[in-house]
Amino acid sequence: MSEQADDARAPGDGTAAPEDALASFIGKWRARWPEWTLAEAFVPAAQRERALAWAALQQELADAAWGGRDARPGELKLGWWLEELQGWSQGRRRHPLGQALQRLPAPWAALAAALPTLLETRERPLDRGDATAQLQAYAAALAAVDAALFGTDARAEDAAVAGACLLHARLAHEGESAVPLGVLARAGEAAATVAWGEELRAHWPGAPASTLARRLWAALALARLAGGDAARPLSPWRALLSAWRGARGRR
């Protein structure tokens, strides 16, 4: 079977042509982040496709780990992704996102090795410290891919920013089920998501990420938290201002 045919049969995209399937996965990410239409203007044109595909891949992996009431489908998806990412490091690909990413010299095998640690974060953490610690290994793997894709050296601060983005993403998509037990007990179910969002914002990493794409993603996430709703898209003006500040490494 050809590489292109394998792409078309990757989980979740049916029998669509590879180009259409790739656009579909990127479109899913854009649907959650409409602000990116403005923010991507700060990304060099040569890096925009890889930034979009990398963002979409991170969303697919996080959704598999945290989505739904039953953990088993997510376990199966992450198991498939573990094999897929290992294949990328060996020159093979099946998933449509591999069209944009597989040939890029990034540590895909190391990301695959970190996926089990992401799955282990499905249960509610006890508090913010627990939530951050659970994601430490996976966030470091994301930061290493960031550095490879965008030509920088990974730093410890980069993993901290990637971890903060993950905590925001989980809150934005999963809502109250993402809130640590301690915050839930303190704030009550009705106010839990707001309280957790405020805590994430108050403890957001101070040092900016090394890569422009991660700085932009972090800036948009932080601005949403400042607006009081992790899932609500920013207004065009707020999105543009946040992206401008993020591009320059400002809070």
- pLDDT above 70: percentage of residues in the chain: 93
On average, the pLDDT of the chain sits at: 92
- 2: pLDDT strictly greater than 60: no
Q: What is the mean pLDDT of residues 101-122?
A: 96
pLDDT of residue 3: 37
The answer on pLDDT for 101 being more than 60 is yes
Whether residue 5 has pLDDT greater than 80: no
- Check: CB of residue 169 under 8 Å from CB of residue 59: yes
Give the mean pLDDT of 163-175. Answer: 97
What confidence category does residue 52 fall into, taking pLDDT thresholds of 50, 70 and 90? very high
Tokens of 100: 């944009």
User: What average pLDDT does this structure show over 10-18?
Assistant: 55
Which of 17-26, 123-132, 143-152, 233-242 bottoms out in mean pLDDT, i.e. has the lowest?
Answer: 17-26
Q: What is the mean pLDDT of residues 59-76?
A: 92
Place 154 in a pLDDT band, splitting at 50, 70 and 90: confident
- In this prediction, residue 83 carries a pLDDT of 97
**Domains and their CATH numbers in the chain:** 3-247 (1.10.600.10)
Q: What percent of the chain has pLDDT over 90?
A: 86
